[in-house]
Amino acid sequence: MSDTNLTAILKKQGDIQLEDIPIPEPGPGEVQLCMQHVGICGSDVHYWKHGAIGDFVVKAPMILGHEASGVVSKLGKGVTNLKVGDRVAIEPGVPCRLCSHCKHGRYNLCPDMKFCATPPIHGNLARYYVHAADFCFKLPDNMSTEEGALLEPLSVGVHACNRGGVTLGSKVLICGAGPIGLVNVLTAKANGAAVVCITDIDQSRLDMAKSMGATYTLKVTSKDPKEMAQKVEDVMGVQPEITIECSGATPSIQTAIYATKSGGCVVLVGLGQADITLPIVNASVREVDIRGIFRYVNCYPTALAMVASGKVDVKPLITHRFKLEDTLKAFETTFKGEGIKVMIECAKK
Ligand code: NAD
Ligand code: ZN
């Protein structure tokens, strides 16, 4: 453990600095965490390169990182669910717990959500960090803190598959084989999907998807969504009942609608252009439901159980590892699109 708090701060667009800042003290209901692992997400890189995502604009220096795990190093007043030394996965979004969304259990829709590394809220790519104790999940002995950090993207897969209704025997199409497409492959298979087909424009990502359990892979070679939808049916032998769109690319979202069986469901996970043209009459007259997802809700316990039980193996997602001191190199690697998940080790050995 260290007594300084090296922290990765996005000072402004394009400018990440490592600085020693004071070690934060936990308030009531909070725990101080000695950070272990933080995975880099596309959104972290986007804030670095572009300074904003939609309405979320980096107006003041912000600590990066939200796919994280740590070891409890201090308890705030009133914390009873954890003890010092517990290794935990950190669910990065803490809602108000009081509004109607929170009270209905859909806290991911809370308008007062405080989500790590979504401006103006600080993230946790640091040696030390303080978080709400009830959004920390104790890891069993058979799970590593790297796996704990990967519960964040895995939870996106859990929520997307829940929203799509993936269950025993489902025939599922997943569009886009980035980290999010891949966690959806893992989750769909763990839910008992009979067939999972995945698309991408990049063959190496498709190869990865195949090695992680996709039944079929399909390289996208045309921007014509009807043509691609037909190819999906040719490859799968049937139309998918559920399509989980994880690329955000407009032609892929259009393909998702055309490809899905009448009466089925398209889940929009990928976030691309704000306004696009969709074959909406086609979706309407074939009763293809279109459902959005926003992050995840009540999914961490499920994701944790999936990994702890051995139902899914998230470890192959990690293709690169860096130390906190080499954060910039880690971000450059992610930006170049090399590998899948870049993991940063935060604890000083
Ligand atoms: P990523 O960029 O690593 O992966 C996207 C993949 O889509 C890439 O492999 C790319 O080659 C592929 N692709 C591009 N065009 C395509 C096309 N026409 N057809 C098929 N594949 C195509 O990103 P990621 O980290 O895997 O995240 C995926 C998306 O999910 C992003 O848009 C991200 O913003 C979004 N996301 C949404 C939520 C949410 O709550 N809704 C949460 C996390 C991520
Ligand atoms: Zn709320």
- Give the pLDDT confidence of 162-185 residue by residue, as tens digits: 999 999 999 999 999 999 999 999
For the domain that residue 214 is a member of, what is the CATH number?
3.40.50.720
Counting ligand 1 atoms within 8 A of each CB, the residue from 200, 204, 293, 318 with the most, and so the one to mutate, is 200
CA distances from 2 to 23, 119, 128, 243 (A): 10, 28, 9, 46
Model pLDDT, residue 1: 56
Nearest ligand 1 atom to alpha carbon 175: 20
Per DSSP, the three-state class of 30 is strand
The CA 71 to ligand 1 mean position distance, Å, reads 31
Q: Which residues pair with 20 in a beta bridge?
A: 6
User: What predicted TM-score, i.e. pTM, was given to this entire model?
Assistant: 0.98
Instruction: Quote the ligand 2 centre to 159 CA distance (angstroms).
Output: 18
pLDDT at residue 2, rounded to an integer? 60
Q: Among 229, 280, 276, which Cα is nearest to 250's? A: 276
Mean predicted lDDT score pLDDT of the chain = 97
Please check whether residues 159 and 35 belong to one and the same domain.
Answer: no
Are 24 and 94 members of one domain?
Answer: yes
Q: Whose CA is closest to atom 30 on ligand 1?
A: 270
Say yes or no: 114 and 215 in one domain: no
Distance from the alpha carbon of residue 19 to the mean position of ligand 1, in angstroms: 31
CA separation for the pair 210, 177 (Å, rounded) = 10
Q: Containing domain of residue 59, as a range?
A: 6-138+314-345
Task: Please report the pLDDT score of residue 349 as a whole number.
Answer: 77
Residues 181 and 105 in one domain: no
Instruction: Quote the pLDDT of residue 348.
Output: 87
Q: Is residue 299 part of a domain?
A: no
pLDDT tens, 107-134?
Answer: 999 999 999 999 999 999 999 999 999 9
22 CA to centre of ligand 1 in angstroms: 36
Answer whether residue 247 shows pLDDT above 70: yes
Question: Do residue 83 and residue 207 come from a single domain?
Answer: no
Residue 102: which residues within 8 A CB-CB, separation 6 or more? 95, 96, 110
CATH of the domain at 83: 3.90.180.10
- Closest Cα to atom 35, ligand 1: which residue? 270
174 within a domain of the structure (yes/no): yes
Total domains in the fold of the chain: 2
Residues with CB under 6 A from ligand 1: 42, 156, 175-181, 199-202, 205, 220, 246-249, 251-252, 269-271, 293-295
Measured from the Cα of 159, ligand 1's closest atom is 40
Mutate to test the pocket of ligand 1, among 217, 221, 232, 247 (most ligand atoms within 8 A of CB): 247
Q: Residue 229: is its pLDDT beyond 90?
A: yes
Q: How high is the ipTM of this complex?
A: 0.99
Nearest residue to 95 via CA among 72, 76, 115: 115
The verdict on residue 113 lying in a domain is: yes
In this model, does residue 343 exceed pLDDT 80? Answer: yes
Asked if residue 38 belongs to a domain, the reply is: yes
CA distance 134 to 131: 9
Same domain, 123 and 189: no
Query: Are both 195 and 276 inside the same structural domain?
Result: yes
